[in-house]
A and B are shown apart, each in its own frame.
Chain A
Amino acid sequence: MKRISVTVNGVRHEADVEPRTLLVHFIREQLELTGTNVGCDTSSCGACTILMNGQSVKSCTVLAVQADGAEVATVEGLASNGDWHPVQKAFHENHGLQCGFCTPGMMMATVGYLDENPAPTEDEVRLALEGNLCRCTGYHNIVKAVLAAADDMGS
């Protein structure tokens, strides 16, 4: 067991973890934040995408011990004081989700990307999200939502 300290959505957590524990399992099982989903075992699908020190990462590719001292943001921390983040609003208003399983990761990847590129083109959005798979929407409304969120955040 190794002792780690991770700040998640602004709250500092100290915990003992097995060295093999993936960050996503630490988040889901030890912190009981189950909004971050696990969709694959090959770091292919992006359902588990979170922000670590402001960068979007697939939390299945990070060991919990590697997050020691890091600032982590998950979908549960996206809204503030009950107000949805513009990305959450845009996904709702543009029907950017169906079953909703990929949605937390898709939104966290979007938040990370719009921080890097606040005014992307459609083609740039499509490339930026290629690490996040969705099986329901054909991505059409996800792309629309990301562009709408960018507009909203830029205005």
Chain B
Amino acid sequence: MINVKKTLFYQGINLFWSEIKEFLITLGNIGKDFVRTIKAMSTLRVDRKTLIEQCSRFSVDSLPITLTIVAMTSIIIAMQIAPELAKQGAGNYVGSLSALVMVRELSAIMSGFAIISMIGSSYASEIASMAVTEQISAMKVLRVDPVEYLIVPRFLSGVIMMPFVVVVSTFCGLVCAAVISNITAEITYLNFINSMWHGLFVKDIFVALLKSSFFGGTIALISCSCGYSTRGGALEVGISTTRAVVWSFVAIAIWDYIFASVFYL
């Protein structure tokens, strides 16, 4: 007789199943926390001081990293396309192409990545460590709703501040692109700016802002939720933080796809 439980097949299935279960549990937790957050927000009584604190943390603290990443992306793109287009006599299109790529796509997603690593991970780990040291239980016993106190201000800061972060970093990125095009392909600044406005529509800017807001809210919610449901000790705090980062990455990639297909297909 073979022991079924010892076969590789059984163990493989088991592992697979536990992964799926974990996935579903995480998804469930995020959904539950989203509903709770919305419910808590519906009272329209947000602690203003905490909200301002979180907003400044979300934007100002992350800006150096976000700007660097977006600017580098923008510089690299300009470096690749400006000389090439200029060589083919299409130097007039460098500005519009850069603006299109940055505004429609790269600024938001690159800022998103930067925010996940700067802000998402710290949201997740700080709330997770509060959970494992019973600070969240203590809050409940003191009859203060931890969702309202911890998650709502962070979620709102993401929704409100992400567009701001993206606007600033896009602006900075395009300035860098203009400088690089000027240096590498002798495209004048005036030419770059004129061409930029040719390529962009108000719709692009509107979609970019809306998308960033969704990104910010999603990152904050997922990070808080992964932290909030942590049980155990230091090891689990690490696992939750990793989970928050991975889930946030995948989630904003999916949002990006959804926005692209809804608005540009």
Chain A bound to chain B: no
